[in-house]
Amino acid sequence: MLDVIPTFRPLPKLTPEDEAYIRGEFFTLEELCLGRRGHPSEYRNKIRSRELPLPTYIIDSVEYYPSDYFLFPDSVEPASEMKGAFFARYLRIASAYNGAPSDDVLTEEYESYLSGEYGVCLKTLTPETVFLKGFAMAQIDGLFANPKTSDAEWHAQLRAWVYRLDELERQFAPCDTERFGSLPSRVRYIDRAKAEYPEVFGLENQSS
């Protein structure tokens, strides 16, 4: 029997659709360890010591993780620590966009990474994609707050940011809405933009 590690947020009762999505999109630690030198038990110890993220989902006591779970950890130099490497890479990409975030923001993002919850929404899980997801949502929020539906530049910006976010994000499991107590960001940003401004995406002549 597996020595199961709990998720950060317990899952609600899963539907067949939830289970099909999770089993089809995520992998067990045993599957991810195929071909690796480390044993799953070693990685579970690292998860418990907060050196690796928690599982994203659990079904019937089986932990499920994103396929690129080890992508960022494997990129960290052996003599370095995960937190410092995460901060450095997050700061590097943030400086290319809007300057350095506060220490509180960095800590919050790293804690969210360790919680396993970014595995719910990101197709590729790195400090760079964590930053870009939040930055894209902030840009879309700004465009929603000041709509200029007759402005071609506003159209172009909304379309660009929505498509960029779309490329970063997964489809989400149906249970994620209940689990997190809010609609997924895909619904709140991508689906909302297309529903409220179909002309921006060439959808105005399509039936709903």
Average pLDDT over residues 69-79: 91
Residue 2 lies in a domain: no
Mind listing the pLDDT tens digit for each residue in 4-46?
687 888 899 999 999 999 999 999 999 999 999 999 999 999 9
Residue 156 lies in a domain: yes
Quick one: what percent of the chain has pLDDT higher than 90? 87
Residue 9 lies in a domain: no
Average pLDDT over residues 38-60: 94
Domain total of the chain = 1
Residue 111 lies in a domain: yes
Rounded alpha-carbon distances, angstroms, from residue 78 to 74, 87, 107, 186: 9, 16, 22, 36
pTM assigned to the model: 0.92
Say what the pLDDT of residue 208 is: 47
Q: Where are the alpha helices (DSSP H) in 96-173?
A: 103-114, 118-121, 127-145, 152-168
Say what the pLDDT of residue 9 is: 86
Residue 8 lies in a domain: no
Say what the pLDDT of residue 206 is: 62
State how far the Cα of 44 lies from the Cα of 82, in Å rounded to an integer. Answer: 16
Say what the pLDDT of residue 193 is: 97
Q: Are 194 and 155 in contact (CB under 8 A)?
A: no
Strands (E), the chain: 57-59, 62-64
Q: Can you tell me whether residue 155 is helix, strand or coil?
A: helix
Residue 7 lies in a domain: no
Mind listing the pLDDT tens digit for each residue in 177-187?
999 999 999 99
Average pLDDT over residues 66-73: 97
Residue 5 lies in a domain: no
Residue 69 lies in a domain: yes
Range of the domain at 43: 16-201
Amino acid at 55: P
